[in-house]
């Protein structure tokens, strides 16, 4: 890079007004545009191509001649070492952005992630579940930590307290933490490497195996895990998934739900009347339908026969060739959701345990929601006439709990 250097002086450079490039030496130029704007540029060749690197404005009070010469000297040192000044500048800016971004906390990034994606999540319950599981209720300490510094022990601190007793919730939180950390790598806020929330070959080796339901009983999901399950279920398509939703919202038996006819359901009144010949106890059972249960039925309206004379005996949740679904079909939905600790019948136990914990309804009302026989014939006559509205209130509260909705005022 031989040649005359320091051709310009500060005063002389300020006096130049002719458009064009005015050399200072060793590839540094004062560039004046036709419009009169002034800037410093460094010109060099790399791999046979001419490249131009701007060094800043040469306007009064901006980059001085001395500062421009220092920047040009730094660029020449990069060239001498075999590098490319423009590439080096780009890498430096990127690293600066990464370092700044790495100060972002897990909570800040998780909230931004949900904000970005929730518009594509059509189900409001799904959006609420993401915010709930990644919020302060479960991740209060994790949310405060820079996302670039989240390690395996941080994830375990969230998961361990839930692992054995609230399995579904623990699994779902782990999956969502893993997703957020993956996104942080793509966004440049974490360095590539093993995701500390990864299950296979990582956390699977550090957490005890989750026990399955006890033999001799229908496996039941703990009631505290039901909102997560219902949220995930709502994202699944198909008649069997809607039937399973209806079963959960009504606390009904599998056979009663799979055999439900359109003639038994009054959507306007929110009522399902199961005839005696389809009930285990051999007596008609009136089931109050929560808005969520009604919504599950309404999704099946496109499959309802069009002709009035065909509706009466038509199944609400038809299988192939309009035959009833099998219990195995409902169980298969649960299996595909990777929930080993639940069965269709077990959701009745989940409801009963929740009702006992909720404490807002009487023992008799909770038992009658399950169509269990309570008391002698005299008591039964009283209960049939008196507890329907109590059961409606209880099933509405159950649906609100499952969907994370606040009870209606009034």
List pLDDT tens digits, range 346-362.
Answer: 899 899 989 888 777 78
CATH architecture for residues 106-205? Orthogonal Bundle (1.10)
User: Which residues are paired to 396 by β-bridges?
Assistant: none
* Residue 212 to residue 341: CA distance in whole angstroms: 5
| Annotated domain spans of the chain | 10-101, 106-205, 223-403
Sign of torsion, CA 225 227 231 233?
positive
Q: What is the pLDDT of residue 70?
A: 93
Tokens of 321: 């060739």
Beta strand 49-57 with 38-46 is antiparallel
Assigned CATH for 10-101: 3.30.160.390
Q: What is the pLDDT of residue 376?
A: 47
Q: What is the pLDDT of residue 165?
A: 72
Q: What is the pLDDT of residue 213?
A: 47
CA 102 to chain centre: 22
Q: What is the pLDDT of residue 399?
A: 94
What DSSP state is assigned to residue 374? Answer: -
Tokens of 364: 């008799």
User: Residue 235 contacts by C-beta under 8 Å, 6 or more apart in sequence?
Assistant: 123, 126
User: Which residues are paired to 52 by β-bridges?
Assistant: 43
* Superfamily of structural domain 223-403: Intergrase catalytic core (1.10.443.10)
Count Cβ atoms within 10 A of the Cβ of residue 374 and give its class: 0-12 exposed, 13-18 middle, 19 or more buried: middle
Given a cut of 70, the residues of the chain with pLDDT beneath it are 1-4, 98, 101-102, 122-123, 125, 210-218, 373-386, 405-410
pTM listed for this prediction: 0.52
């Amino acid at each position: 890079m031989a040649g005359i250097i320091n051709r310009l002086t500060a005063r002389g450079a300020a006096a130049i007004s002719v458009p064009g490039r005015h050399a200072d030496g060793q590839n540094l130029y004062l560039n004046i545009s036709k419009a009169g704007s002034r800037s410093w540029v460094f010109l060099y060749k790399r791999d046979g191509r001419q490249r131009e690197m701007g060094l800043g404005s040469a306007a009064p009070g901006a980059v001085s001649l001395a500062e421009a010469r220092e920047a040009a000297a730094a660029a020449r040192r990069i060239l001498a070492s075999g590098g490319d000044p423009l590439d080096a500048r780009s890498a430096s800016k990127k690293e600066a952005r990464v370092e700044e971004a790495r100060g972002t906390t897990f909570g800040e990034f998780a909230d931004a992630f949900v904000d970005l994606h929730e518009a594509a999540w059509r189900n409001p319950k799904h959006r609420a579940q993401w915010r709930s599981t990644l919020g302060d209720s479960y991740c209060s300490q994790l949310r405060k930590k820079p996302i670039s510094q989240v390690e395996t022990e941080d994830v375990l601190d969230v998961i361990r307290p839930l692992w054995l007793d609230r399995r579904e919730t623990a699994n779902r939180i782990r999956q969502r933490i893993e997703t957020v950390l993956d996104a942080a790598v793509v966004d440049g806020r974490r360095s590539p490497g093993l995701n500390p929330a990864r299950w296979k070959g990582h956390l699977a080796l550090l957490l005890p195996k989750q026990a399955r339901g006890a033999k001799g009983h229908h496996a039941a999901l703990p009631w505290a895990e039901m909102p997560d399950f219902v949220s995930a279920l709502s994202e699944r398509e198909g008649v069997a998934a809607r039937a399973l939703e209806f079963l959960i919202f009504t606390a009904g038996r599998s056979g009663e739900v799979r055999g439900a006819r359109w003639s038994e359901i009054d959507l306007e009144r929110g009522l399902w009347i199961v005839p005696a010949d389809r009930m285990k106890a051999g007596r008609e059972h009136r089931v109050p339908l929560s808005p969520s249960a009604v919504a599950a039925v309404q999704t099946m309206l496109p499959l309802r026969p069009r002709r009035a004379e065909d509706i009466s005996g038509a199944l609400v949740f038809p299988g192939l060739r309009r035959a009833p679904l099998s219990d195995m079909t409902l169980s298969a939905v649960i299996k595909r959701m990777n929930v080993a600790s639940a069965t269709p019948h077990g959701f009745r136990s989940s409801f009963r345990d929740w009702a006992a914990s909720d404490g807002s309804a009487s023992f008799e009302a909770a038992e009658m929601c399950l169509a269990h026989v309570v008391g002698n014939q005299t008591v039964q006559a009283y209960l049939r006439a008196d507890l329907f509205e109590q059961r409606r209130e209880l099933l509405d509260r159950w649906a609100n709990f499952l969907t994370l909705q606040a009870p209606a005022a009034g």
